[in-house]
Each structure stands twice: as C-alpha cells, then as structure tokens.
Structure 1
Amino acid sequence: MHAKTTTTTLTPLALKDAPALIETVFPAQKVSFEAQSERKAGAGQTLTGLGSYWKGRKPLILVRAIVLGSLLPATGDAEADLAIFEKLMAFDDEGLARRALAANAFSASKLQALIPIADPERYFRGRGWRRDLTDDDKLVLYRQALTTLSSYEEKASLGKRPEEVDQDWLYAPVWPEVNRHYAHLGVNAQSLPELVEQLGILRYGHRPRVGDTFCGGGSIPFEAARIGCDAYASDLNPIACMLTWGAFHIVGGSKEEREQLKRDQQALVKKVLAEIDRLGIETDGQGWRAKVFLYCVEVRCPQTGWMVPLLPTLVVSKGYKVTAELVPDPGRKRYDIAIRSDVSDAELKAAELGTVRSDGRGQDPYMVHTVDGREYRTKISTLRGDYKKPDGTTGNQLRLWEKHDFKPRPEDIFQERLYCIQWMRPRDSGKSYDYEFRAVTEEDLERERIVEEYVAKHLAEWQEQGWVPDMRIEPGDKTDEPIRTRGWTHWHHLFNPRQLLLGALMRKQASAFHAFSIFATLDLNSRLSRWNGSGSKGAGGNTSNTFDNQALNTLFNYGHRGVANLQGYLRPNFPIDSLSNAIEKSINCRAADELSSVHPLIPLFITDPPYADAVKYEEITEFFIAWLRKNPPPEFAHWVWDSRRALAIKGEDEDFRRGMVAAYTAMAEHMPDNGMQCVMFTHQDTSVWGDLIGIFWAAGLQVVAAWYIATETTSELKKGGYVQGTVILMLKKRAAGERTGFKQRLLPAVRQEVARQIETMMHLNDTVKTQHGEPVWSDADLQMAGYAAALKVLTAYTHIGGEDVTRYALRPRVRGEVTVVDEIVQQAAETASSLLVPEELSAETWAKLTGIERFVLRMLDMKTTGSTKLDNYQNFAKAFRVTDYSRVMGDMRPNHARLKRISEFASRDLTEATEIGATRLGRLIIALQQRLKDAEPQVIVDQLRGEMADFLEVRPLLVDMLAFIERNSPEPEVRTAAEVLGARLKNLRFGE
C-alpha cells in the first residue's frame, strides 16, 4: 500500500467537528479475535524479528482499527457505518472468503463434501482444481462454504491475517462501496492510504499525522505509516527508538535500503566467519563445526571439599536421548563429565534429577551429590554465604567482579566449566546436517584457552573502542539479581569469553543494520541463555532467548551458539512491507512531555503508556544499551545512549502521576482543538481507572469512548496463565472554560447517560444479530461503554465539589480511600449490570438478585454461547462486586474458563460462611444436588420452606431461577432436576 497524492475534489475541514466512528461503534469482539490471532503468530508477526525481547508491542491490527475508527466519520447510520468499517478491516464475509482463499483453507475434495455443487466439472478435474480456474472462480465456492460456519471466529480462523494478503486483491470489491457511502463528502479512494489521506484532508485539512510518545517496539507509528499517515515517534529509551527505526527502514524500507541491508549482512557474516576460522576455535579439524557449547557453574562442596558441577538436570537432549554422567575422580576431588548417547528410556528418566534440586516449596534450591555412597546436600544460599546485615538488608560472600574480569578467578566461589559440545556437519546431499553430542576433550579445552587468551589480550582495547561494554550494572528491581547471585557488576560480565569475542567481532561493524543482527545474537548468546534440549530429535536442542521472561535470571547452566548456528540471526530475513516515500516519518529519543519543538500539530495521538508495568524496560534494556553506548552507529549517534532510569515514567506513585500529567498535558496542547487521543492500558484492577482517569482529567482531556480488547495468553514460564485485557480509551480536549459539578448531581446524570448509551448499543446489537446471526458487542463491551458514558459526564468538569481536578489527580492516595472516580465507575457498573439482564430471565427477578447470584447466572448464560475467556469472568466479578469469584469457578485457565457444574460444588462451598452459600441460589444448588441423589422433590421443597422465613415471598424468584438453570445448565441431569423442582414449586398449593 502506497500513499498517493489525492486528485479527488474534497472540501478541506468538512469533517472538522464531526464525531469519529470510534466514538459510537467499534467491533471490539472481532478486533479482539484478530489481535489474539496476530499474537499467536509468534515469530510470524511483522515486527517481531527486529527484536523479540521487546514484548510490549500492540498488535498491528488493533492499531489499524484505531486509526481508521478515529478518521472515519459517524454518519448517523450506525449499522451502515459499522458495515463499511468491517469491510475496510477485512472482517466482512467477502473479506473473510478472500482471506480463506489466500490460505488455501479448503481443498477441492473438502469443498465438494461441504457444500452442494451443481456443476463440479466447472471447478474440478479429478481430485483437484481445474488449472484454468481464476481466484474469482474459486471465491464463488469459498463464499458458499463460509455460510456453513456459524461464528466469526470459525470463519476467521481459516484464513490468513489481513496484513498477510495482497492488499490490492483483498480490498478490490471494497472501494466502490466505500466511495458510494461517503460520496456526499467527495471521497474517491482506491487504496487505504488514499482513503486515509482524503479523510485527513476532510477532518484536519491535510494528511493525518499520528504521534506516539511511548513508541516502544514501534507498532503504532509503523502501522499508522503503513496505512498512509505521517508518523511521529518518540521514546526516552534508545532501544525503543532503534526498534522503531528498524520498523521504518528495514521492514518498511525502500528497495535501496533493503539492498544496503543485504550488503551489510553479507559483509558481517564474511568478516566474523573469517576471524573465527582463522583462530580455529569452532572446528574440530574433521569437518565438524560446533553448534552449541554447553557450560555449567561449578562449586566446592563445603562438606566434602569436592568440586561439583551445578546441573538442574543431567539430560542433555531428550530427542537424541543424551545424558551427562558424573564420573567421580577421588584423586582430584572432582567429577569428570561423560556424555552418553542413545540411552534407554529408564536411564533418560533417571537423568532428569541433576545436582541442583528444589526443596519442593519454591524456596531456596540446594546442591546434592554423592561420595562413597553418602549423599550431601547444601543450600545454594549457604554456598553463596548469604547473611542479614544489621540494617535488615542481605549480603553474601561473593567477590564483586571488576571491570577487567571476564571469567571467574581461581578463588571465586562459583567457577565455570565447559561440559559438552554439540557438533554439526553437512550431509553429502548438502540439504541437512548430522549432529553429535560429545564430551569435552583436551583439544576442546585448548580451543577454550585460545579464546580466553585472545579476550584477555584485547578486552581493554575493545572496551575503549566501545566494541564491548564497560558500563556498570546499576542496582534496580531486575538488575539486582546478577549482582546478588553472581557478583557481576558490569554488563560484560553477563557474557563468557566466547560470547565477548563474537560480540566484539560483530560490533566492529558500524552500520545501523548490523545492530539488529548483533542484538538478536546477544539475546541468544549470554550467560543467561538457557539450554533447551527437550525438543524432538531434529537438531537436538538450542539456546533460548535471554529475555524469555523479561528478567535477568542467572542460570546454573547455559549454552553458546557457534557461528554456524547463528546464520539466520547474522543474516536475518526480515519481512518486506515498504512504506511510501511520500509519508513523513520522524523518531526522537526524548521524554514524552518534550513536544514544544515538534511541528506541526499532531491531530491523533495513540499511546500505550508504561502504567504499573511489570516489565522494567528502563533496566533490562541496559543489557543492549551497554553494547552501543560508547560507539553507536552514525544513524543512532544523536540519541542519548542511556536508559535514563531517573526520568522514566514508571510505578504508581505521585511522581508517576506527575510525569503522566505532564506528558498528556503536552500532547493535549500539541494537538488541534478537533484532535483526538487514544490511550491503551492493560486492565488489571479498578485502581487503574482511578489513577488514569485522574491523569487524563488533569491534562485537560475528556473521555468520549472506551472499548475492551481481550488478549489472553498462557506461558509455562509464567507458571500459569496471565490474563490481559487492553482498554482502549478515546479522549478529546475538554471544552474551554470553568465548569463545577457536585457528586450528588453527577450520579443521576451518570445513570441517565449510561442507560442511554447501553440501550442505544443494545438496539443495534439486536438489529445486527437478527440480520447476521451474531451481535456486535458482548456484555463486557456494553459494560465498558457504560464506563465510558459515565466518565464522559465526569471529565467534562474542571472542578468537583470545589476541588480542582489537577490537584485531585496529583494528591497522595490514602490507603482504602474511595474516590469520586471510584464511585462514578462503580455507579456505571451497577447501572450497566442492571440493564444487562440475561435472556430468559425476568427483569423483576434480576433486580432482586445479589451480586454473586447475578454473576453465576450471567456467566451461565455466557457459557452457553461459548464464552470461555477468563477475562469476561474477571470483569463481571468486579462489576457485580463479587468478593471471591474463584470459589464458583470450575476452571480458571485463560481460554478454558467455566463455572463449577452443579455437581462439582462441595459442601464447604455452600456453607453460610461463603458468598454463594449464604444466598437463595446457593440453597437451590444444594436442593439440586439432593435431587441428583434421588431425594424426593416434596422432601426437598419442605426443607426449602423450613429454612427460608420468606419462602412464600421468594417462591416466584426460586421458580424463575430454576427455569433459567433448566434451560442453560450444561448437565442434562441437572436440567431434569431443575425442571422437576421448578414444577413442584410452581404448582405448590399453600395448604400442602
């Protein structure tokens, strides 16, 4: 997609004051699914190859949706506007069919089995397609095939992501409809960039400019530029700026830039290989090259005096069935390490236990080894010599390494040894490799000595030239770990001699393009690069990224990849998605509030600020900053190569709020009066709302819309699933002038606005569902819109109860305090919840239910529609003020969430002391369980009557709940039991 100079007749600023589409409609459910699909693509994501260590990139499809939604006008016909928007996102049926065809989702035989085809010979020859068939011919059948699927997720799962499909072909049928829909504005576009430019002229008088002052991995400015916006990007962190530069100039680079990248990569590989081969340190002289060198920490046992290798497992490779065997050498009081291949399954299982073991409680691990039949155990903390200081802090006996150190000294507690090498050799065919794991030989140790001597000779020079770090590791939340657990004090201590040599050879090359290859290599080749030998046979295993979990975790064993195993990183194949030369792109390494010198004004800011972010990028990226700090490539030389931790906006305290208010005030002042801001943040708890709303309020911004995008992931490294949901908050400048409000008047206005917003959206939901079978919004989306409606009312004021909103936003928080924002948000939640009555349950019954009862019945209703997303349960638990929703959950995995079945509730779950047990629904669950055990219906009813003082009054409520359970329970026997008890209660005569 390339931006072109528009030739259509437009009236500049015709949409100057028109509301944007995203203020009224936004297909949040579909955007959520597409965003998750992009996340699941892993390394297939467009920008990930630039630096997978930056995990916080927002999905490009989400950015595209926000930009288009902010530029398109709301015409007054919400249904038609939504239809056009979905076509532009390729979410419509035609777009889905084209995406499915691009993925070859249906084979010829599958199509013939799936749909009736009157003239199959027109399409097929034998079992395949006719060769003379065009894509348009195939689309006829693809369209029919997709009508057999019921949900959007089923249809979209079959196809490629929109960005993976040829854009001209994907959008070919869209432009006549778009131009017709906006004909009254003079729109005449044939591509997304053309449409974006025309909308910018109509709204702002020029091509739209998107700004991101927390640009991070660059996804927001890159996607904005890709669809035709000028892009302004800035970040305090130079690594973020570098990644954004890579998005613009590598992934989005011109033909000339790509050719230069190729030349630079070839030169880098040639020079590095030449020097490695000259030293002879990665070959055995028999045609084998080293694929991975495996190292481990070694420590002296204080009980026996033996040197013991610290290995969490003795399994080297599961696929090749390779283990390490500790062979005692009593004379030297140490262990030789033999490498055994093709061991039995039993031997492989036994080898899973290494010399480092957990205490089983997640606490301090210990070292274990056996001498003369006796087992010795010592805590790792004891080996380090951990102790408490008088001031309560901790210390240990580790020597702090000095600037010239690059390996342990003989007197250090923790030593290091090479214990295995995996070798590779090309097969005669040249198409694949043979692999071998071998024990370390004297020749291998001699090669290690060559490396160590070379590094010792050149380290000072390399550090002076800026080719190897000489930067200290400053203490911090994440950076304390290597200092405390290893005594490492400088960043180059995180790299062993081989890694320093390889890093220096690469850093001698000064091109900006080289920096991406270098950083990818460093991420895989450090003392923090975990060896993963658990895969299938294939290549036998490899090192994992240093930042596989965004921390600086020191390891007892690690791997170093040889140059032959790094070809794909030294010469990476980045995606190509060239950006138009007409698009203006700028990157600045500066704080978010430093916008005074930026010209012209920026009408659309899209930001993902670092609120309460567990990833301390300002600390962990010093791992990379240290390598470029003294001698960056010329393209990056004007940036400040320091993380500037003290200036980074982080945390949740008063300094954080002041920094955020300054940043967003600067953005508000640097956009035109009809400009808009989109702020994305991870939805974690209700305190997020209180602080962030206060910040934007104080910055002179008013909320105009809010949408919720579900992005759920699971990871073994995170010890379970972390649920994430991104809130999309849309803001505009607050109208000039003072406006004072009072809480007692605000609350009725909030209730009225929330009700109006939700009823409007529910009406559109019903209309679309009737026509297309699926609603536009889930209940979670409607709740979010309710919050936005409430905040729109609140943030229109400059004073609440006489207090200036800026003072309100910046004043220190009192623990347990309920602020006016908290009250407004809760009021919105309650108003929204009262309107979101499940189908088949009367409004009268809904009004009488407690929060936990509403939660269970609401989620039971959602379960029948296939909702298994944990964030839905979390959001509704907050909305209904449920204290502990986990007590009623049967599964809390992020994408497999569900309520407990009636039969799964234990007696302890249903006592008067529990939230659900103290309710009428809780009593009904007990009654249903009794019926499942064949208790007589009349006996159960008599018990209910005896236990409930208000039985006659609540009997209709019980009947209504049982009828609802009968229709919605996933357990057939429970549905039967509910039917029986409901009928008995309904027909109960008062004389019985």
Structure 2
Amino acid sequence: MTAANHPVIAPKKLIEVALPLDTINEAASREKAIRSGHPSALHHYWARRPLAAARAVIFAQVVNDPSWRWEYESPGQEPPSHLKATWAKSRRRLFGILQDLVRWESSTDAALVERARSEIRKSWRETCEANRDHPFAAELFDPDVLPALHDPFAGGGAIPLEGQRLGLEAFASDLNPVAVLINKAMLEIPQRFNRRPPVRPEVDTRALIEREWHGAQGVAEDVRYYGAWVLERARERAGLMFQAAPITAETVRVRPDLVPYVGQTLPIIAWIWANTVKSPNPAFAHVDVPLVSTYVLSAKSGKEAFLVPVVSGDQYRFEVCVGKQPTADARAGTKLGRGANFRCLVSGTPISGDYIKSEGKAGRIGSRLLAIVAEGKRGRVYLEASAADEALAGSCDPDWRPDIEIAGSTQYIGVRPYGVLTFGQLFTPRQLVALNTIADLISEAGAKVRRDAAAAGLADDDISLGAGGGGARAYSEAVTILLSFALDKLADLANKSCAWEPIAQCPRHLFGRQAIPMVWDYAEGNPLGESSGSWSVIVDGIAKAFSNAFGTDLTVPAGHAVQADAAEQLLSLNKVVSTDPPYYANVPYADLSDFFYVWARRSLRIALPELFSTIAVPKQNELVAFPHRHADGKDGAERFFLAGMTKAMQRLAESAHPAFPVTIYYAFKQAETEDEAGTASTGWETFLDAVIRAGFSITGTWPLRTENESRLRGQESNALASSIALVCRPRPAGAAVTSRRAFTRELGKILPGALDAMTRGAEGWGAPVAPVDLSQAIIGPGMEIFTKYASVLEADGQPMAVRTALSLINRFLADDDFDADTQFCLAWFEQHGWNAGTFGSANVLAQAKGTSVDGVHAAGVLRSGGGEVQLLRPAEYPEHWDPSSDSRLPVWELLHHLVRVLRAGGEFEAGVVLGAAQPKADSVRQLAYRLYTLCERAGWADDARQYNDLITSWAAIESAAQRSPVSQAQVNLFDA
C-alpha cells in the first residue's frame, strides 16, 4: 500500500482560479530588456522563461485560493454573495503581493520575498491541517517542512531558481549537460558559499576577512582575480599572435587621419575577414575572390568608414575611406540581391549559392583579410590589411581542434551546406590557439584555486560540488565553472559566424538567434585585448552578473542540479513540479549546445567527469520532433515526440505531490498539417494530446508574454512571443465517460459564466482579460471539463479528438459558428482594428482558434512579416478575384470582397459574388452585423458605415444573387 492509494485533500490553488495577467506580462516583457545583473548574463541558453513569469506561476501554484474550503466542502453549490466578496478581497490582497513580487527590482527585496514565503507557509499549514488524518501524513504533510520543487526540463534554470527564491528546496534536472552546468552555477554555488570571503592570495588577508561579504560576492571577486591570472598567462603564451605592425609614415601619406599614430602599435580590436571562393570565370579561375555582404566598417554618424576595392587585372586590394558617406556599392559589397548570391570582384561574373556550396563541399572556401580595427585616442581606427598581418594569422598552428560533427537540420545549422561539418571548422587557427590556451589555463587555475582555498581555511577534502561539498575542491569547481562560462561566451564571440556590427563597431556574437548561420564576412575579435568581446571584458561581466544576481543575504534553501532523462527520472516524487519542456520542433537544444559543450568539456572534464562523460551532448532521447533524426521523417518525429512526452508527463502525473497542481509551459511557432479533416496545428495539439494521455486533467491555461520580440529573430521573422502555462491535476481513477452531446451541454452551462467573469474582470480577476488572451484563457475551463472525463465519445463511439474539443470550446467566445480563420480575424480586429500587431500575439490567438497565422495569410486576408501581422482593408483585396477558384475562402474574406465590390460596382456586381457563394450568405450577413456593432461601439465611424451600407443593401444584393447564374461546381465548392 502506498500514498497513491489514498486520496488527499488538495486545496484549489490561486493559479486554478485567477491571475493578474496584465501585471505579470508587463513585468516579463520588461525583464527581457534587462541584462545587467541578470542571471541570464552568466551563460547563453535558448528560450528562457522570464524570472517574473516563473516566480508568479510558482507562487500562485502553491498558494491556496480563498475559495478552496467551500469548493471542497460544498462542491457544485453556488456560494452566497457575501462569501464571493470575501474571496475577491482576499484575492486582491494576494494579487498585491504578486504585483510587487514580479517586478525585477523586487527580486532581491528580502522583506517582500518574506511576505510571499509567509503566504506559502500559511497555505501549506492549511493543507497539512486538512490532511492531518491521512495515513501518510508524516511523509506527505509535515507542516514544518515545505515540499521541494522539481523541474525535469530545467534548461536555463529560471523555474528552479525562482522556486528556491520563494523558499522551496529546488531540484533541477535535464538531459543536456550544458543546462545542468548552468543550473549548478545558479542553484548550488551561491547557496553553498553564501557570505564566503574570497580565497585569492597576494592581498591583505585581514582586510578580506574583516570586510562584510554579502551573498556570493566573494565567489565573484575570485572569478575576477583568477580570470585576470588566466589572461596574464595567456598573453605570455600567445600574445604575439594578436599584435599588429606599427603605423608607418608611408601609410600616413595616403591616410592623413593616421598622423597622430605614426610609429605606434595600436591595440587591436578585431580583424575583418571575408570568405573566398575560386572565381567561376574560367579566365580568373586561379583567383580567390571575396564574398562580402557589405564594405561598410562604421555607420556611426560622423565616423563613417568603408572599404574601397582596388582591382588591377587578377589582383585586388582594399583601401579604407573615412569621413565620407558610403556609396551604394560600398553598402552592397560583392553581394547580389538576397541569399548566397555574389559577383566576382575581378570579372563581375555572378556567383550563385549552388556554386558556393559546391566549393565549400570540395574544401575550397578560403579567407581574405579585409581590414583591421584598432583602438585610437578618440574611438575606432580602421587600418588597411597587410600581407604581414595575414601571414601572422596563417602561421598559427593549434594543437587541438574540436573536430566533433555539427549535428542538426540545415534549417538551424546554416553552415552545413557549405562544407562546414565540424565545430573545428567554425574557428580560425588563431581563434583556436586562443581558446585552447585559455581552456588549459582554466584547468590550471582550478588547481591553484584549490590550493589557495585550503590555505584560506576551507577544508582540504575531496568532496565535489555535486556531492554536496563545501570545501576546497568544491570551491575550486565553483570558480572554474564560472570561468568556463567565460570561455563559452568567448567562443560565442570568437568564431567565423560572427559578423561585424558597423553601428556599434564591434563583433556580433554567434547566437543572436537559435541557429548557426553562414556568415560571409566575419570579425575576428582580439580575445587578449581590452575591448568588447575580449576575455577581460567577458570575465568582468560574468563576475558582475553573479555578484549582482546573488550578492544579497537573502537566505535560500538548498539547490541541486543533476543530469537525468525526464521520461526516466525519479526526482519528482512528492515534489511541486513546474516545468518548461521542449517545444516540438522549435529549438534544437542539443545540436546547438554542442557548440558550448566541446569547450566546457575541454576545461571541466577532469573536475566534473560525470557530467562530461560523452563526446557530445546526448541527443537520442531528447524530446524534440526533428524529422532528420528519424528514418521515417516527419511521421516518425511526431510519433517519437508524442510517445516520449506522454511518458514524461505520465511520470509527473504519478510522482508529483498530490496536494499541488503541475504547471507546464508550452510555446511554439504554430505550423499546419493537412489531413482529411482539414488544417490543424501539429505542435500544440500533439502536446495537449500527450498531457491528456498521461492522465492529466487541465484546470487552467494562462497566456504569458515570455519572449523578447525585439531580439534578432523577432526582428527578422515571425518569431515566438508568448507561451502558455498549463495547470494540470492527475485525472481521478475511474473517471467517467461522457458523450459529445453531454460535453457540449456542460460547456454551455459553465463557459458563459467563466467568459463573463474574464471579460468583466470579476471574481478576483482584478482586470478584464485582454481580448488577445481571452481565446487562450477560455480553454482553461473548457479543457477542465473535457479532461475530467476518461473519454468524450463521438456519435460513432470514437473518442473525441483534442482538435474537436478546442473547436467546440472556442465557439463559446461568440454566438456564431464561423470558420476558424474568420474567428481569428474577428478577434484580431476587435483588438487591433486595421493596425498592425505583433506576430507573437497573433500566433497565440490563431492557435486558440484552431488555425495558424500562415494559414490565414494564405487565405489572403492579412499581411505577415517582420514580426508583425495586419489585416487587409477591403480596398487592398485583389480586384481580379474569382471566388470559384479560391480554395480557402473564410467568411471574413467573402464579406470584405463584397464590401469592396459594392463600393466599386454596385449591388448587382455584389450579387454576382454572393450568388457564387450562396451557402455562406447567412454567415456573411451575421458577420456584417457583428462588425457594425463592434465598430459603432468603438467609435470607428467610417468602418461602421461600410458594414451598414452592406446590410442596408442586403435585400437588393440577395435579389441580384438569385438572378445570377451559378455553376454546380461553384455550389459544390461553397458547400464544402
């Protein structure tokens, strides 16, 4: 007999009733722009949750809703009004704590955090008291010991970090060793060495001891010290490779701006290179010509600089022009239009992307030094490259290369089609020498830290950090982990996929998006210098971030980070579970993490052998749906994801503490798949299916703004902006089976009241739910009904699909039965009118409506691109449009074509259009009424008028439609 055989009294939590969404989303969005002192500055990771969102979700997940006693003692009964008012007042108080708690400035406010912890302890004592007679009360309900929190897909660590901040012992597990390392740094190191003075020698020891060290400030100080120690020795070993020749008088004759620097050797910031291929012109086939996306070096106002190519026969060189606006040719470089298309510098012959790929696969892509960036007295100085500079770079001979295959789809690994197949090929020889040297020195620094720590009084034991050690060995591991983070960040800024940024005048780091792209002209920064992208700047940034994020005396419980497969792990047993699993096929975490893993392994495998036992990051069991990993492609990937995610979710449903719901984040860029049932979203429905198959009942869905829409990918594409937080409870054993009719009847009983509460901000909501979030929020009570049953049966006895359930739920957002595309357009118009909105918001709304932005775009009613979505006005619809050949014709599109035709051609022409679409006539008229009312209430007079005109002309249009000849093919089309 186990605890699982005995039901517990599980109070309804705040997150299962209401949340101050607007406040949480505003704080999460604001946090994405914060870098100084933020834990994310320690190490790059993909698709991190904002700390504000994680903090709010965990707090609301463990704090009881004020209504819980009534819900338990009087299930299904309507509470009296005075009790509702009391609950609403209590929720407002809890919302007040949450609204303060989610602000970034509050993350280190000990008094505020203690208020939140006090509420958590209060709720826990209530839960323990309610379960005092449970046969396993001693095991499950100790009022003096809060349950721990576990995140089985820990990733970047936001969730366990916030659980720890809120007073819960935190367990973070992940299959990915890079994620485990990040979580060790955040959960274990600050707590283990809280208020510990630095161990560095060669300073006034008494002053160090007497100074008051807060939080992990001592560790941060040692990172600075030993980082400087590494740099000093790296310069001794490899410094000559990162110097340039002095500026000569001959150079000054053609560059008067360099007169102040004659005879000087300026500090180098970067070398700017271009990839080269053999000219495709047979007359110049022996010439390596550069592939340059732009000749602009500096676009900063008043300090413009660009390259000017000088071609003579089959020879060429580059001069630097300063103080002038770059020409159109300079801005274009040798590039021709979009994609990998260039022109030969010496002959003008076009160079196609296919030709470059063939050259790359044959190993014939080379490099040419274009210019050198140095530090002058008043900013950047741009120098012509010399043969000596290029020869110096070519003389470097690294003793080790990370010749590990770059795994992954070319959708994300953009360098593979060009013959870049190993990580070693991503770096120049000089970059490899620098990274190797620093990696070796980190290992040496670790041994020195251990000796110095023992000398400073830490126990000279052999207990590792992972085994719970707090002595000299564990401390040396802590410092070397943070130094390895600096090495990883250096690699991110010291590779051949780093472009030069002409406005900021510094190298861009590789991972501006979730990919390893091919970059044609790249910046080789000076890792041993003092400017942006150098080791010293990176180490200082990590020390500052660690000190600011963990430099307070806020006491936190223990944290633990371990490597484990989410589908096999046992850590969730009797713990609060909140997690952020992989998003179907959105981010290839393991493939991208290899970039960091190869360097972390080189510097840490002796210190942490258990974490770096494999050559690369494990990929076989990673729960993502990438077709390239499966012999049967897309179908196999989907089956793998569904089976693996179901198993992982089942583990959580069986193991999580029975008194708490499980919270699961999910987000993706919605994709469509076609089957006999029509168009549907693959990722969202597959994930929901896995959750339901695992035995969970969904008791809430919350749209959270968790992505930075201004980041590189958001600027260039329709990238993700929001995620959904699912609230789940295990479905009771012996759950009933119901019919579609009974399910629909129950939706009709529950959803209108829930919708009314959301739109009015009633019953503790604090504020009305935003229209763009309403479609997703209403899924919560709808799916709660659907998932409480073992199955909902269709008329033919088959279980209802998740897709069908979502469609039925969404119908309650309006008193109509419009198609999914029209429902999306209607909701989007109510929120934005004809103005543009962010793709992330549109993606969330489309997902909830059972369609996709791409699908609605294909219908021809909106424009989508550059991270924005905007409905087309009727005047923007195409004039030469044939409804009989339109294979995707939502009611929204037909209505606005009618508005356009009525204005341009009158009632008869509109009747011809309507006649071809007669089966949709009632829906068109109903939508026109809806839009007229909406526009009138919003004060959009011109828009209201166009719908009013259509309605007043409706009888004449219908009369014309009846006289208009319509082919049977058209009738069949619109009936479909």
TM (norm. structure 2) is 0.73
The 3-state SS of whatever aligns with 1:907 is: coil
Q: Which runs of 5+ in 1 are unaligned?
A: 1-12, 96-160, 172-188, 387-394, 399-412, 428-432, 464-468, 803-816, 838-842
RMSD: 4.3
In 2, the alpha carbon distance for the partners of 1:271 and 1:448 equals 22
In 2, the alpha carbon distance for the partners of 1:966 and 1:582 equals 53
1:365 maps to: 341
Q: Does 1:662 align with 2:663?
A: no
Cα deviation per residue 1:66-109 (whole Å; 9 max; x = unaligned)?
11111111222453344133212226xxx9xxxxxxxxxxxxxx
Amino acid corresponding to residue 564 of structure 1 in structure 2: E
Q: Compute the displacement of 1:705 (Å).
A: 1.9
User: Percent identity of the aligned residues?
Assistant: 15
The 3-state SS of whatever aligns with 1:654 is: helix
Show the 5 A alignment for 1:722-741: 722-736=719-733, 738-739=734-735, 741=737
- Contact kept, 8 Å, 1:606 with 1:679, in 2: the verdict is yes
In 1, the alpha carbon distance for the partners of 2:511 and 2:365 equals 23
2:481 maps to: 512
In 2, the alpha carbon distance for the partners of 1:25 and 1:646 equals 39
Cα deviation per residue 1:302-345 (whole Å; 9 max; x = unaligned)?
52122322222222222232222333354xx4322322222x33
Query: Which of residues 552, 559, 562 in structure 1 aligns to 2:516?
Result: 552
Show the 5 A alignment for 1:17-96: 17-39=10-32, 41=33, 43-44=35-36, 46-52=38-44, 54-76=45-67, 77=84, 79-90=88-99
2:330 maps to: 351
1:327 maps to: 310
In 2, the alpha carbon distance for the partners of 1:32 and 1:576 equals 22
1:185 maps to: none
Q: Compute the displacement of 1:213 (Å).
A: 1.0
Cα deviation per residue 1:794-822 (whole Å; 9 max; x = unaligned)?
444557779xxxxxxxxxxxxxx998453
Deviates more, 1:677-686 or 1:439-448: 439-448
Distance 1:211 1:953, change over 3 A: closer
2:741 maps to: 748
Q: Compute the displacement of 1:290 (Å).
A: 0.3
Amino acid corresponding to residue 428 of structure 2 in structure 1: N
Distance 1:170 1:905, change over 3 A: farther
Cα deviation per residue 1:466-520 (whole Å; 9 max; x = unaligned)?
xxx5442154325995884554554333221221222123211131220111111
In 2, the alpha carbon distance for the partners of 1:630 and 1:764 equals 57
Q: Compute the displacement of 1:687 (Å).
A: 2.9
Q: Does 1:215 align with 2:154?
A: yes
Amino acid corresponding to residue 813 of structure 2 in structure 1: L
Q: Compute the displacement of 1:715 (Å).
A: 5.4
The 3-state SS of whatever aligns with 2:729 is: strand
In 2, the alpha carbon distance for the partners of 1:952 and 1:717 equals 42
Show the 5 A alignment for 1:1-400: 16-39=9-32, 41=33, 43-44=35-36, 46-52=38-44, 54-76=45-67, 77=84, 79-90=88-99, 162-165=103-106, 168=109, 171=112, 190-203=114-127, 204-205=141-142, 206-248=145-187, 254-256=194-196, 257-273=216-232, 275-276=234-235, 279-284=239-244, 286=264, 288-302=266-280, 303=282, 304=284, 305-319=286-300, 320-328=303-311, 330=313, 333-342=314-323, 344-345=324-325, 347-358=326-337, 360=338, 362=339, 364-371=340-347, 375-382=348-355, 385=358, 396-398=361-363
Q: Compute the displacement of 1:439 (Å).
A: 0.9
Cα deviation per residue 1:758-787 (whole Å; 9 max; x = unaligned)?
233234346537999x84324554443443
Distance 1:878 1:595, change over 3 A: closer
In 2, the alpha carbon distance for the partners of 1:397 and 1:489 equals 12
In 2, the alpha carbon distance for the partners of 1:356 and 1:899 equals 34
Query: Which of residues 480, 499, 508 in structure 1 aligns to 2:431?
Result: 499
Q: Compute the displacement of 1:273 (Å).
A: 4.0
- Contact kept, 8 Å, 2:740 with 2:792, in 1: the verdict is no
Q: Does 1:621 align with 2:593?
A: yes
In 1, the alpha carbon distance for the partners of 2:822 and 2:621 equals 48
Distance 1:46 1:861, change over 3 A: same
Distance 1:769 1:928, change over 3 A: farther
Show the 5 A alignment for 1:861-940: 861-863=830-832, 868-870=837-839, 873-874=842-843, 884-886=855-857, 887=859, 889-892=861-864, 897-908=869-880, 911=883, 913-914=885-886, 925=896, 928-929=899-900
Cα deviation per residue 1:154-195 (whole Å; 9 max; x = unaligned)?
xxxxxxx71224765995xxxxxxxxxxxxxxxxx9522333
Distance 1:515 1:854, change over 3 A: closer
2:530 maps to: 564
The 3-state SS of whatever aligns with 1:680 is: strand
- Contact kept, 8 Å, 2:277 with 2:288, in 1: the verdict is yes
Q: Compute the displacement of 1:587 (Å).
A: 0.5
In 2, the alpha carbon distance for the partners of 1:582 and 1:879 equals 39
Distance 1:859 1:227, change over 3 A: same
Q: Compute the displacement of 1:244 (Å).
A: 1.4
Show the 5 A alignment for 1:393-412: 396-398=361-363
Q: Compute the displacement of 1:20 (Å).
A: 1.0
Q: Compute the displacement of 1:585 (Å).
A: 0.6
2:384 maps to: 439
In 2, the alpha carbon distance for the partners of 1:341 and 1:526 equals 27
- Contact kept, 8 Å, 2:373 with 2:382, in 1: the verdict is yes
In 2, the alpha carbon distance for the partners of 1:790 and 1:500 equals 56
In 1, the alpha carbon distance for the partners of 2:743 and 2:170 equals 37
Amino acid corresponding to residue 336 of structure 2 in structure 1: R
- Contact kept, 8 Å, 1:750 with 1:828, in 2: the verdict is no
In 1, the alpha carbon distance for the partners of 2:406 and 2:953 equals 72
1:836 maps to: 813
1:417 maps to: 368
Q: Compute the displacement of 1:591 (Å).
A: 1.3
Distance 1:978 1:235, change over 3 A: closer
Q: Compute the displacement of 1:676 (Å).
A: 2.5
Q: Compute the displacement of 1:613 (Å).
A: 3.1
In 1, the alpha carbon distance for the partners of 2:647 and 2:638 equals 14
Amino acid corresponding to residue 397 of structure 1 in structure 2: A
The 3-state SS of whatever aligns with 2:718 is: strand
Show the 5 A alignment for 1:960-979: 960-961=929-930, 963-964=932-933, 967=936, 972-979=941-948
Q: Compute the displacement of 1:445 (Å).
A: 4.4
Q: Compute the displacement of 1:710 (Å).
A: 4.2
Cα deviation per residue 1:112-139 (whole Å; 9 max; x = unaligned)?
xxxxxxxxxxxxxxxxxxxxxxxxxxxx
In 2, the alpha carbon distance for the partners of 1:438 and 1:291 equals 11
The 3-state SS of whatever aligns with 2:645 is: helix
Q: Does 1:583 align with 2:571?
A: no
Amino acid corresponding to residue 787 of structure 1 in structure 2: I
Distance 1:545 1:753, change over 3 A: farther
Distance 1:309 1:755, change over 3 A: same
Q: Which runs of 5+ in 2 are unaligned?
A: 1-5, 68-83, 128-140, 197-215, 247-263, 444-479, 626-636, 672-680, 960-976
Amino acid corresponding to residue 31 of structure 1 in structure 2: I
Q: Compute the displacement of 1:564 (Å).
A: 1.6
Cα deviation per residue 1:871-915 (whole Å; 9 max; x = unaligned)?
555555566667953346455358754433344334346845548
The 3-state SS of whatever aligns with 1:36 is: helix
In 2, the alpha carbon distance for the partners of 1:500 and 1:357 equals 32
2:455 maps to: none
Greater relative contact order (Cα < 8 A, sep 6+)? 2
Amino acid corresponding to residue 236 of structure 1 in structure 2: L
Distance 1:789 1:383, change over 3 A: closer
